[in-house]
Amino acid sequence: MADSVRTLFCITVGQNFFDLPSDETGEVWQAVGDMMAGIAALPGVEILGTLDDDETMVGSSAAGFPTAYVLADLPDRETASAACNLFRTTPVGESGHRLWKYLSVEARLGRPLVPPPPRKGMSAR
């Protein structure tokens, strides 16, 4: 997508999630699936990949660092805003809570990093 906006959604799991009884965390996980489907369904969105470092980051990040990421190409900044808004509007089970009670998101917008090819005689290491 030549005119797209490369976007990295940085997701932080908050302490509210970790305070839930284990039998209630599944509702949050289902809401995450609903939110991800909502992002993918936005017009012009191409999800390029995801990363979750939950195997090596256990518990809530003391410094509030993100622990999950979604990389996507979006048609414009407004679509990034609409994707972030899904955290505000996606319901979690029958609790009446929305996803942003448990997760926060920050979107980084930019463009693909495309360095020039190595100069003649230089090897990539």
What's the confidence (pLDDT) of residue 121? Answer: 78
12: helix, coil or strand? strand
What's the confidence (pLDDT) of residue 62? Answer: 63
Kindly report the average pLDDT of the chain as a whole number: 91
What's the confidence (pLDDT) of residue 63? Answer: 65
User: Mind listing the pLDDT tens digit for each residue in 108-124?
Assistant: 999 988 899 888 877 66
User: Mind listing the pLDDT tens digit for each residue in 4-33?
Assistant: 999 999 999 998 999 999 999 999 999 999
Q: What CATH architecture is 5-110?
A: 2-Layer Sandwich (3.30)
- State pTM to two decimals: 0.85
The residue ranges of every structural domain in the chain are 5-110
Residue 100 has phi, psi (to 5 degrees) of: -70, -10
| Nearest Cα to Cα of residue 47 among 8, 105, 88, 2 | 8
Which one-letter amino acid corresponds to residue 92?
V
* Long-range contacts from 61-64, C-beta under 8 angstroms, 24+ separation: 61/12, 61/13, 64/12
